[in-house]
Structure formats: structure tokens, C-alpha cells
Amino acid sequence: MKITDLSVRRFRYISNTVRDSEGHGHPGPDHEAVQSVLTIHTDEGVEGYFFGSPPQDLISSLVKPYITGEDPFYRERIWHNLKERQRLNMATMSDRLLNAVDLALWDLAGRALNLPVHKLLGATRDKVPAYASTMCGDDIEGGLGTPEDYANFAAWCIERGYPAFKLHTWQPPYEGAPDVKQDIAACAAVREVYGPDAHLMLDPYHYYSRLEALYLAKGLEKLDYYWMEEPMDEHSMSSYVWLCEQTSLPICGPETAEGKMYTRAEWIKAGACDLVRGGVGDLGGLTPLMKVAHLAESFGMRMEVHGGGPGNFHALCAMGIPGQYYERGLLHPFIDYEQPSPWLNRLDDPMDEEGFVHISQLPGLGQDINWEYIEANLVE
Ligand code: MG
């Protein structure tokens, strides 16, 4: 089998999420938005898909020349080839671009072999407990504006079945944000509602100083939190070593730091994290994510996967020392997460009443795609 072409189709849909000036998503009025799907075509008619593709011009100029004519089953070779091209194309050839191609290739392989990706990888399980992962704090009435709002939403999440809960707290541009005391107040309010035994996590503002991060860690130790992620800029690994040495609170990272599996190896060696982190989008695909999972396993550490979506979900169903949780969200009192995106016939991560998300057994990434909707809403 040979790759013959890569194409990107764009289509309209109605979104109810808006971005603030710092780029964080919040509920907002319905408005038209554009989604895109990358297709990798082959000479045997088998295709692979990825939703959220970079634009056609980047795919055509940076990817197509290197992978046209390749056997799509040579994922590892293709990934290394593209990774090596990044060195001279730093501004354009992002890890997100690598991720789009890598996930479309995994999807293609599963479709060709009629197997879901977690079984191609060597599966360990078909369901994973999920934690409720909130949107960032806001100033919306009845939203996530106060510690009490987080407590109320936590009560709703318990009712829905989520066994664990992670707060994303307030960040600029919200007035008074960031504020470590307000963060701890929200964490305490959620602990009160979830009770003493539940696993609770915090993802605060990412640019706190060392002393602010330590203050937070000490507060969360008392509240018996399960982990904290990314309270400081991850380019300063020394700051994370400094933090880990002074707190018993598990520190999870690095999440968004560049450098794929190499950065994660350095963090483990330096003692900069207790739980390893990264998602397909941060690392440049499922191929490098599994390398990090195996790296973490070799050090007897868990890898907690960043973000949801089918790539991350299949990885979680194929880990030796499994990441404990699937990150489901981002959730908000005014967002209905149980509605699939209009281009899908079903959710990628349906959750039962006990809080387990169940992996799709359809081939490839397992997405049930509504092609009729896509065709009817194409953008020229
Ligand atoms: Mg995070």
C-alpha cells in the first residue's frame, strides 16, 4: 500500500465556546465556527482521518513531499522523517502538525486491518475511569466565578458519576486573577463536597513564582490533593526540582513543554515530577506518546495523559502501568458535554454512571463520522 495524497476539508458548525484574550475557552453565545478534517489517501482506497487538521497549505508544502509514495504502515519511519524536518522548519512544522499526520496514519492502519487502535498497540483494557476537568474560572453568574460555584459544580459531577475532579482555576484576564489564596479556597470547597477519599487535582495559573507554587502545594497537602500540574513555566525544570524537593504533594508534568520524549526523560532523571505528563497534541502524536508511556513504566511511574480525544484514549487503553484517569472535558455548568460534535454520530468518550469511559471498538481511532453533515457544510 502506498500513500497517494493528503487533503484537508473544512466545514462549518455551530459552536457555543468562545476564547478570552488569553486563549482560554468559556461558554458563550452560539456562533459559526470552522472545523477541518485531514484525509490520508492510498492507492488501495483505504483512508485515515484526523479532525482539527492544520491548514492545507502547511500539509501540502511541509508533509506531502515527504510522505507521498510511502507505505502508510511505516509510521515510525514517517514520524522520524517529519521530526527531523522540524529542525529547519521550526516556525511552521509544529508538533501539532506531526500529531495530525501520525493520528491519521494510526486511523488508517486500524481501518485497513479492521481493528481499533488500542488493539493494534496491544490493549490492556477497554474502559478507563474519567475525571471531570473543568474549564478555567470566569465571572459568569452561576458559572465558575467563586469557590462556591466550583463546589456546586462538583456536586453535579458527583451526581453524574465522576469519581475524581480537577479544577482549572482563574487566570488573567479575570479580575483579581491569579490568586493562590482564591485557588486554595476553591480547592477546599471542592474537597468539602467530594469528601475525604476522592482524588482531586489542581491545574492553576501556569506562571506563578516558585514561592507561590510552594504556597499552593502546602495548601493542597493539607487538603490531601492527588496532584498539581503546571503551576510554573515548564521551561524552568530547576523550579520543578526545587518544588518537588519541598512538598509531598505529587507534581505532574511536563504537560506543554516542547521536546517530546526527550524532555520527559530529563524531567524524570532530574526529579522534577512524580507523575509524567503529555498528550498526543503536546508530544507530536500517538507514536511519541507511547514512547513516553514506556519510559514512565520503566521508571515505575505513572503517566497521566493530557486531554481527551480518541488518540489519548486509545493510548490509555494500551499502557502497562496505566495512566489512572481519562481527562474528560473541559466541563462547565453551561456546556452540555454529552452531545457529540455535529460531525460525529456518537461521543468518542461515552461515560457510564460509575464514571468509566468506554473505548470504541470500531476500526482505527473508532470515530463514528457523520459524512453527510460534513459534505453539507463544506467551506470552499
Ligand atoms: Mg493541564
**306 alpha carbon to ligand 1 midpoint, in Å?**
7
Q: How many other CB atoms are found less than 10 A from the CB of residue 89?
A: 14
Among residues 366, 330, 358, 380, which one has the least CA distance to residue 129? Answer: 358
Structural domains of the chain ordered from first start: 3-114+368-376 (3.30.390.10), 119-358 (3.20.20.120)
The pLDDT of 202-209, averaged and rounded, is 98
Calpha distance 56→36 (Å, rounded): 10
Sign of the alpha-carbon dihedral angle for 330, 50, 318, 269 = negative
pLDDT for residue 90 is more than 90: no
Q: The C-alpha cell of 106 is what?
A: 494510526
* Distance in angstroms between the alpha carbons of the first and the last residue of the chain: 30
The pLDDT of 136-159, averaged and rounded, is 97
173: Cβ contacts below 8 Å, ≥ 6 apart? 20, 21, 22
Q: Report the pLDDT value the prediction gives residue 214, as an integer from 0 to 100.
A: 98
**76 alpha carbon to ligand 1 midpoint, in Å?**
27
Calpha distance 308→328 (Å, rounded): 6
**40 alpha carbon to ligand 1 midpoint, in Å?**
30
Summarised one tens digit per residue, pLDDT across range 248-289 is 999 999 999 999 999 999 999 999 999 999 999 999 999 999
**100 alpha carbon to ligand 1 midpoint, in Å?**
20
Summarised one tens digit per residue, pLDDT across range 61-75 is 999 999 999 999 999
Rounded to two decimals, what is the model's pTM?
0.97
Q: Residues with beta carbon < 5 A to ion ligand 1?
A: 203, 229, 255
**118 alpha carbon to ligand 1 midpoint, in Å?**
24
Strands 378-379 and 127-134: unpaired
Q: Report the pLDDT value the prediction gives residue 321, as an integer from 0 to 100.
A: 81
**239 alpha carbon to ligand 1 midpoint, in Å?**
17
Residue 323's pLDDT band, with cuts at 50, 70 and 90, is confident
**339 alpha carbon to ligand 1 midpoint, in Å?**
23
Calpha distance 378→358 (Å, rounded): 31
pLDDT for residue 91 is more than 90: no
pLDDT for residue 322 is more than 80: no
**278 alpha carbon to ligand 1 midpoint, in Å?**
9
**140 alpha carbon to ligand 1 midpoint, in Å?**
22
Residue 237's pLDDT band, with cuts at 50, 70 and 90, is very high
Mean pLDDT score of the chain: 97
pLDDT for residue 48 is more than 90: yes
Do 194 and 158 form a contact (C-beta atoms < 8 A)? yes
**349 alpha carbon to ligand 1 midpoint, in Å?**
19
Q: How many CA atoms lie within 13 A of 331 on its CB side?
A: 22
**5 alpha carbon to ligand 1 midpoint, in Å?**
35
For a pLDDT cut of 90, what percent of the chain falls above it? Answer: 98
Among residues 78, 59, 58, which one has the least CA distance to residue 70? Answer: 78
What's the per-residue H, E or C state across 288-302?
HHHHHHHHHHHCCCC
Summarised one tens digit per residue, pLDDT across range 324-373 is 999 999 999 999 999 999 999 999 999 999 999 999 999 999 999 999 99
Summarised one tens digit per residue, pLDDT across range 3-45 is 999 999 999 999 999 999 999 999 999 999 999 999 999 999 9
**137 alpha carbon to ligand 1 midpoint, in Å?**
14
**255 alpha carbon to ligand 1 midpoint, in Å?**
6
**39 alpha carbon to ligand 1 midpoint, in Å?**
29
Q: Report the pLDDT value the prediction gives residue 380, as an integer from 0 to 100.
A: 83
